[in-house]
Structure 1
């Protein structure tokens, strides 16, 4: 049986009953193949590489920046091709890089922060989860993370802590609010060369073999897309499965579903403009 069919049989789509117990166990159940999830951040700017990612056969998870030129169109295309869609929420960083539209900053009060976050969620078609874009400053601060998770808890959404700084509290606060959460294990493409990406990709596979599963974050750079186009189809023969984030969460949590049907209010779409 091919690995993608194994994952289907195990219930990769992870939505349906409110999770109990730990929200981010490290190991998949025994007997399941080593499984990776690959998140591609910064989606919404590059239409060419974005379309290549959206049309890939493997179940990638694509994280879209809000209100960017190609966000809505690419998110719709990706959904049509079986990809999982996330909001890539811009958060303040220690280098003070500009965040752009939808940015969350420490000077915001709770009302402002939750309003900006809610509007960003509403701007992403088929949004299933959230991770932080940058955020090395904001994700260290308890109060802003408390406000973020209090808003996310209302919806059937998970959270991925991108772990852009070791002292992040984002994942812990998500757990406190019972927002299903997972941490990033590997960055694929801090260096955009085939050799450097290969080192990180092999590290991802090694972690998955050791722990049962692992999560990587990459970006829509041509070098990254070229590498994934070449090497993802080889994983089946290597005994490595690829899952969406929700699918990997299910594998780590006894194949339970994340949410009871109807227990959370859906995100109401409100796209700012036609894209």
Structure 2
């Protein structure tokens, strides 16, 4: 074997060793990232607050922004959020136990199924680029199984996920979504029930703790100035805590072993749900005759 051939073979072996080393490092980093605690942060009530809305949109992190329907700044801010690679949700107003005003596009407990469905459909179509919805308030409506079935029956027609904001412990929204094969998640932490930096910091620390214990966690905040300012300070420091941030759909994929939303959905509704719908429709027709 000539010296030239030996030199070429040696160079090839060195290159091979280098490539294998790089492959091992990449694989190790990938494996580590899979197990890295991950949070998702939803900002509710988008569409009313222009200044803080823009501040949150401009943060270079994958926040998920939930927009109220038919609000003054919803359309413009949603367009801007999409251009800044934010994930967009519909923040659907639902009846609460305190009698608080819902504003435009709200779902109430006295609605018929056609009225509720029409109102929800109009809200979905009013916001561009939405990928999911969550409830705004809703402590009354999310306890009602029939109305939640109506909501999920409409959502089944779209590639939209559902996040239960869990404004009341007795909510059946997430379980109903699962019955309809709608990708669903639930809120773990509210960031800013009390609007002070100290309180937001305590809740954010709780979010990190839950993520480290369970692997993932979801927080809901609002476009308050204290929240926007705190996230501007806190998000760049996530790496130091070994935490990554994802959109809601990204976090769902992590929880579901890399599966894509809607890839496993059957074309027809599950038998149990279809039977329930048939019974419900029969009752509605009977009631209408009466």
TM-score (ref. length: structure 2)? 0.80
Match of 2:49 among 39, 46, 50: 46
> Could you list the per-position Cα deviations for residues 1-53 of structure 1 after superposition, in whole angstroms to 9, with x for gaps in the alignment?
xxxx99xx79xxxxxxxxxxxxxxxxxx9942100000000000011000011
Measure, in 1, the Cα distance between the counterparts of 2:196 and 2:204: 12
Structure 2 spans left out of the alignment, 5+ residues: 1-25, 268-290
Give 1:238 deviation, angstroms: 1.5
Match of 2:65 among 44, 62, 66: 62
Match of 1:141 in 2: 144
Match of 2:116 among 113, 123, 134: 113
Relative to its length, the structure with more helix (as a share) is 2
TM-score (ref. length: structure 1)? 0.84
RMSD, aligned α-carbons: 2.0
1:10-89 equivalences under 5 Å are: 31-89=34-92
Match of 2:127 among 104, 124, 144: 124
Question: Within the alignment, does 1:188 sit opposite 2:191 as a pair?
Answer: yes
Match of 2:176 among 162, 173, 177: 173
Question: Within the alignment, does 1:232 sit opposite 2:235 as a pair?
Answer: yes
Contact 2:183 2:262 in 1 (8 A): no
Match of 2:216 among 213, 217, 221: 213
Measure, in 2, the Cα distance between the counterparts of 1:249 and 1:71: 25
Measure, in 2, the Cα distance between the counterparts of 1:30 and 1:231: 20
Match of 1:164 among 159, 162, 167: 167
Match of 2:249 in 1: 246
Measure, in 2, the Cα distance between the counterparts of 1:106 and 1:251: 35
Give 1:236 deviation, angstroms: 1.4
Measure, in 1, the Cα distance between the counterparts of 2:56 and 2:33: 31
Which runs of at least 4 in structure 1 moved beyond 6 Å after TM superposition? 261-264
Match of 1:202 among 195, 200, 205: 205
SS of equivalent residue, structure 1 residue 146:
helix
Match of 1:255 in 2: 258
Match of 2:155 in 1: 152
- Number of corresponding residues: 240
Structure 1 spans left out of the alignment, 5+ residues: 11-28, 265-275
Match of 1:90 in 2: 93
Give 1:262 deviation, angstroms: 11
Measure, in 1, the Cα distance between the counterparts of 2:137 and 2:116: 16
Computing the radius of gyration from Cα coordinates, the structure with the larger value is: 2
Assess, with a 3 A threshold, how the Cα gap between structure 1 residues 224 and 82 changes in structure 2: closer, same or farther: same
Measure, in 2, the Cα distance between the counterparts of 1:131 and 1:262: 20
